[in-house]
Chains A and B, each alone.
Chain A
Amino acid sequence: MTLAPQTAAAPDPAATAAPPHPRADARDASSATRPPLWLEVLASLAALAASIPLVYLVVRGGESGFDRIVETLTRGRVLEYAANSLGLAAATTATALVLGTAVAFTLSRLRVPFPRLWLLASALPLAVPSFLAGYGWLVLAPSMQGFVPSWLLLSAVTMPYVTLPVAAALRGASGDLEGVARTLGRGPLSAFFVATWPQVRPAAIAGGLLVALYALSDFGLVAMMRFPTLTWGINAAYSASFDRAQAAILALLLVVLALLVVLGERTARGRVPRAAARAVAPRTIGRGMLLSLLPVVAAAPVVGVAIPLLGLATRLVQAETLRELDVPRLLAAVGSTVGVALAAAALAVVLALPIAALAARFRGRLVSAIESVGYLGHALPGIVVGLSLVFFSLAVLPALYQSVAVLVFAYAVLFMPKAIGTMRSGLADVPVALVSVARTLGDSPLRAWWRVTVPLALPSVGIGALLVAIATMKELPATLLLRPTGIQTLATELWNRTVVFEFGAAAPYAAVLVLIAAVPAMVLSGIRSTAKEEL
């Protein structure tokens, strides 16, 4: 159950042509050896920590007893929540898959003006948290609510999860095969489906998984649109504090749905041996065709980024907003947001490092089990992690209840997969032979690690930390449940004002959130505009 999204787009090393033997020798030489015990122990401890929220939720939910669980799950409201969650996830995933694949094909196989600019624009919605997009739209159309706006906004915000990896896969896919199919008598569309689609399918399905998980676990947007899904129900049950058992049971239900989605993706993705890739020249199309494709390509950036920012801007520049601005409070929110984000990034990197180091160099059952647990945060909705850690801290560590430590830990569990993914590939990209060369040149293992592995892998550690920090600043539901009294982040301030329709008072927080979280995310995705990492 490895949820690493990048594995979908990366060529399968086992399936490519056999490498020249001696190099295979040198690589196998290290993977054949067992990992050092201390590394196994450290990685196991990190995985154990990452599993706390899920394990404790199961424990807590199980305490309710079977009858209670059945009784809760068969209530009308609960069935409605579950149906809404599933419906929203299905509609959003289908939309993102179809439109995202179309956009990716347009940008990588057709000759369009400014293709890189468009690709960058397609990545931008990733930087905007769903509740911020919801806020921007509500400013312009305060009466929006229900399924349709939730579906459209979520689709726009999550489409890059499909567009980016599919575009990358299309660039890597051999166009020669399509040409061969044409010479064997297939039409253009048939040739695409027979030759190119199989090479792109794993990337598209892996992207679809991320979209589905995002839609299932989204809280901020559906709550703003007052569309009652499971996350909404969990929050409601928890807020009515006499019924925490019901919150736990709903959270369990949500986790089961998320895990089912993950398992479904695993079976549907499949693996395709990749043909040797050669760049394909984009096809030229007519101006009319180009114009008719424009709305498709522009849809996500316009709906997910441009209009929300426009709504934010119109409210920001109003005199009333500026007059009411509470600068000390805003600065306090900035300080605590950045503070917890940096702490979460540090903790996530520390927890992820042993797991990434283990997974980068070694194989085996224990290794893949540890790695899967490390990726658990991908499948766990923020509200579930928040709720479970509330229960956990109350029952096990009451001194830490509502402390910054638990909040930072929740972030670290949720966003550790980002750090594991980037650090693992960064460490794996350091050729084993280089370390061996350093050894034959007189370096001890530790010195070789310090002089070769560290400098080569450092950028990936930095990017991993940055990804965690950015994601933390945008996090809402776990923050709402776990933040210590008196501490507000930009996201919670924005949220608290939006739900009571104080759009003007919310505007400065939204603007600063865009500046310190969304803009770095955009820059980062610009730097790695071909990358398929989620931001």
Chain B
Amino acid sequence: MSDLVVSGASVTHGSTLAVDDVSMTIRSGELVAVLGPSGCGKTSLLLAIAGLLPLRDGSIAIGSRELSRPGRTVPPEKRGIGWVPQEASLFPHLTVGENIGFAVPGGRGGAGARGRARAERIAELASLVGLGALTNRAPNQLSGGQAQRVALARALAPRPDVLLLDEPFAALDTQLRTVLRREVAELLRAQGTTSILVTHDQEEALTLADRVAVLRDGHLEQFGTPEEIYQQPASDWVARFVGDVVELDGAWRGGRVTCALGNVEAAAVGFTPADGDTVRLMLRPEWIVPRPDLLAHAAAGADARVASISYAGHDAMLSCDLTAGLTVRMRMAAVDLPQVGEDLRLAVQRPGLAFPVPA
């Protein structure tokens, strides 16, 4: 098995540049999520990897085998790359078994050794995705989740080097989505299949993937582990896109920012501020914690009053008015929540991120 190497890839879509100079190496057996908002070019990137769109610049290769470069695209059927589209796209004129066996040689008849081997492979894949009893069903008799399982089994059947999943869970309801995506991730890891999952759902990308590629307007903004993406975003845009942020402006001095939340330790991202410069401090809401023990300390933390509570069961988002006249949001586990109107002493429990103040 070898790595999938995308280097300097650009894809045009009509007259616009959908993917602009994207480079990434996906290691064998890895599950990578490509995350970005609608229209960021993530599906175009996927189609280019599948060989369904040509490259305008750059190259795509698996190990030493070049698959795409400008003017030369190995056709989809010769690339060994599987594809699970957004909506299951099962062949409506074929049964579940025939769908799964679409790429398994041996013909429909089932006679002879080849036919038997094919039937066995279909049964094996059907039970792999938990649909062993349904091989004679027609696609329109399946639920959305079942249809996606069949599409997955069908794509796995020819043992592809790389499997591409294009928002495969987007059409499912929330509960089913959570269950199915965990199952699918486990199955892909068990099979050791190199996989690329396209999604616009941050939670999906962070929970499932080994590494996450964040795409914006065709550019690769950041490529890293879920922790890196969330805790050390490469830009303020990535910070805002992958999770909730609290933004406060303050004065930079020697690795600390003095702002409405007090004097907060911070790391500057992508620039080097001089002492006294105004910077924008970004925090995750759960980095802000109530610290009753600091109530007496004037230097650390800030006084605040709970203005409203948005309760979500497992946790809650609190809006707190700072005495400085600003409002910050903080997330805390929904155990022993304070009351609206209660006074709190807030502190920041880990270093924040400092970005330039936008002009």
| Residues of A bordering B, CB below 8 Å | 20-23, 25-26, 28-29, 32, 431, 433-434, 436-445, 448, 451-452, 455-456
Contacts and interface: CB of A to CB of B under 8 A. Distances in A.
Given A22-B166, A32-B13, A444-B75, A436 B83 contact: yes
A333 to B, nearest CB: 40
Interface stretch (B47-55, B213-221, B229-237, B291-299): B47-55
B89 A434 contact: yes
Contact of B47 (A25, A434, A441, A444): A25
Contacts of B47: 25-26, 29, 436
A456 B93 contact: yes
A21 B103 CA distance: 28
B77 A443 contact: yes
Q: Report which residue of B83, B85, B166 has the largest number of chain A beta carbons within 10 angstroms of its beta carbon.
A: B85
A438 B86 CA distance: 15
B154 interface: yes
Contact of A439 (B43, B75, B198): B75
Interface string B85-108: 111010111000000001100000
A439 B77 contact: yes
A21 B93 contact: no
Nearest to A456: B93
Contacts of B53: 29
B167 interface: yes
> Looking at chain B, what size class is its interface with the partner chain?
35 or more
Contact of B43 (A22, A32, A451): A22
Given A436-B50, A442-B158, A456-B93, A23 B103 contact: no
B39 interface: yes
19 contacts: A22-B43, A25-B18, A26-B43, A26-B47, A26-B86, A28-B14, A29-B44, A29-B52, A434-B89, A436-B85, A437-B85, A437-B154, A438-B91, A439-B51, A439-B52, A439-B75, A440-B83, A442-B103, A443-B77
Interface in B114-133: none
Contacts of A438: 91, 102
B155 A433 contact: no
Given A23-B86, A443-B77, A455 B93 contact: yes
Contacts of A439: 51-52, 75-77
A455 B154 CA distance: 19
Given A22-B86, A22-B166, A440-B82, A456 B103 contact: no
Given A21-B38, A28-B14, A29-B53, A441 B170 contact: no
Nearest to B105: A442
Contacts of B76: 436, 439-440
A456 B83 CA distance: 21
Q: Which 7 A-B pairs have the closest CB atoms?
A: A439-B76, A441-B103, A22-B43, A440-B83, A21-B38, A25-B43, A433-B89
Contacts of B39: 21
Contacts of B79: 440
A437 B89 contact: yes
A438 B103 CA distance: 8
B31 interface: no
B196 interface: no
A451 B160 CA distance: 21
B155 A431 contact: no
B93 A29 contact: no
A462 to B, nearest CB: 14
